[in-house]
Amino acid sequence: MLVYPLRSMKKFVTNILKYLIGFGIAAILIWWSLHNLSGKDLTDIKEALLRARFWLLVPVFAVLLASHWFRALRWKQLITPLGYQPAVVDLVCGLLIGYIANQVIPRAGEIVRCTTVARANKIPPEKIIGTMVAERAFDIVCLLLISLGTFIMEYDYIESYSAEIYHSLRHGLNAGGPARWLILGGLVLFALLCYWLVKKAKTNKLGRFIANIGHGLAEGLQSIKRVDNKPKFLLNTLLIWTCYVLATWLGCFALEETSHLNISTSIAMLVFGTFGIIVSPGGLGAYPIAIQKTLGLYGLDDNIGLATGWILWLAQFIFTIIFGLAAYCLLNYLKRPVHEKHSIHTA
């Protein structure tokens, strides 16, 4: 009789741990990016943020909203073969609400957006979740392809910067002080991770885990075969990623020092920034560092790179909060009377 309460408690504790770990990583990354900065560095970053042309982020918001619209159109293509026709506006609202949920509870956004759309359109949630898995599987493939293309196109920059990082780490170990302990701590954590992976592999748990992920991705990609208009599906995908690149590029105009950056640099920023978002909830702490290090590839000052990272992160955060709350109000307050009126009429 205590099985279900224990399972619920275990799930609750697991979620709390995920929450604490996620924001703990974010806090450590923020501290790590700031603790070695001098007073002049902090002043430079502050001045860069104060002189930023934040009004230029308005076009960024418009492009991000367009990316959500194209994503909703693509998502509807996956739902339609199941026999349901949700409104595109409902799908856009579900996406926006899901993103705002990710800011509060790590990895909760996917489930929230599915249940939101399912409730608004009277669709079984498990069917919506299946389409989300398919969509994410396709996005992972797209991200890997774009990452590979970026690595090939920007190989010279990446190679030179990797050598610079190696020499910096070597110097940090030889110099001693806090830097040495941070590097050694990171190496110890990496060694422990490798040990854990090897141990899991010996018990076949890791193999089953990887196999399950691969199986889920394969099933998700296979479900795309049921889409009626595949060229339209690919076009929507292209438009989604084009909007992401365009939003990143437009965001660079907020600072004079980054207004000269081209599209290829914006693609690199998008790729590394996306991996930064995966590391911590909403990319807090990790995204600005990823942008800083990416711009370092192209010789930009670290302070400007960090300021640019925080500007772009703030743009996404503000967009998520404003439009996420608007989407919640639209679905739960503005559309509710219409649904209730319709149900009374049909009765």
Whether 279 is covered by a domain: the verdict is yes
CA 160 to chain centre: 27
Whether 18 is covered by a domain: the verdict is no
What pLDDT sits at residue 261?
A: 92
Pure H helices in 105-229: 109-121, 125-153, 155-175, 178-202, 205-223
**Cα torsion for 168, 174, 179, 180, to the nearest 10°?**
130
Q: For residue 283, is it left (φ>0), alpha (ψ between -120 and 50) or beta? A: left
Distance between CA atoms of residues 21 and 280, nearest Å: 9
What pLDDT sits at residue 319?
A: 94
Tokens standing for 45? 């970053």
Whether 2 is covered by a domain: the verdict is no
Helix (H, G, I), strand (E, B) or coil at 86: coil
Helix (H, G, I), strand (E, B) or coil at 331: helix
Whether 311 is covered by a domain: the verdict is yes
What pLDDT sits at residue 346?
A: 42
Whether 258 is covered by a domain: the verdict is yes
pLDDT in tens, the chain (347 residues): 444 455 666 666 666 666 666 667 667 767 766 766 777 778 888 888 889 898 988 999 999 999 999 999 999 998 888 888 899 999 999 999 999 888 777 667 888 888 888 888 888 888 888 888 888 888 888 898 998 888 888 777 766 666 665 555 565 555 555 555 555 566 666 676 666 666 665 565 555 655 555 555 565 566 667 778 889 999 999 999 999 999 999 999 999 999 999 999 999 999 989 888 877 777 888 889 889 988 988 889 989 999 999 999 999 999 999 999 999 998 887 665 444 444 433 43
What pLDDT sits at residue 140?
A: 86
Whether 29 is covered by a domain: the verdict is no
Distance between CA atoms of residues 193 and 215, nearest Å: 24
Domains contained in the chain, number: 1
DSSP string computed for 287-308: HHHHHHHHHHHTT--HHHHHHH
On whether the CB atoms of residues 111 and 129 are closer than 8 A, the answer is yes
User: Which amino acid appears at position 208 of this protein?
Assistant: R
DSSP string computed for 30-55: HHHHHTT--HHHHHHHHHHHHS--GG
How many residues in total does the chain contain? 347
**Cα torsion for 322, 116, 282, 19, to the nearest 10°?**
130
Long-range contacts of 239-248 (CB under 8 A, 24+ apart): 239/66, 239/67, 239/70, 240/67, 240/70, 240/71, 240/74, 241/142, 241/146, 243/63, 243/64, 243/66, 243/67, 243/70, 244/67, 244/270, 245/270, 246/63, 247/60, 247/63, 247/64, 247/67, 248/273, 248/312
Distance between CA atoms of residues 252 and 237, nearest Å: 23
Helix (H, G, I), strand (E, B) or coil at 339: helix
Q: Which domain holds residue 295?
A: 59-161+229-346
**Cα torsion for 158, 162, 164, 168, to the nearest 10°?**
150
Whether 13 is covered by a domain: the verdict is no
Q: Which residue has the tokens 């992972």?
A: 140
Whether 37 is covered by a domain: the verdict is no
**Cα torsion for 153, 155, 157, 158, to the nearest 10°?**
130
Distance between CA atoms of residues 224 and 134, nearest Å: 7
CA-angle at 159, arms to 45 and 280, nearest 5°:
50
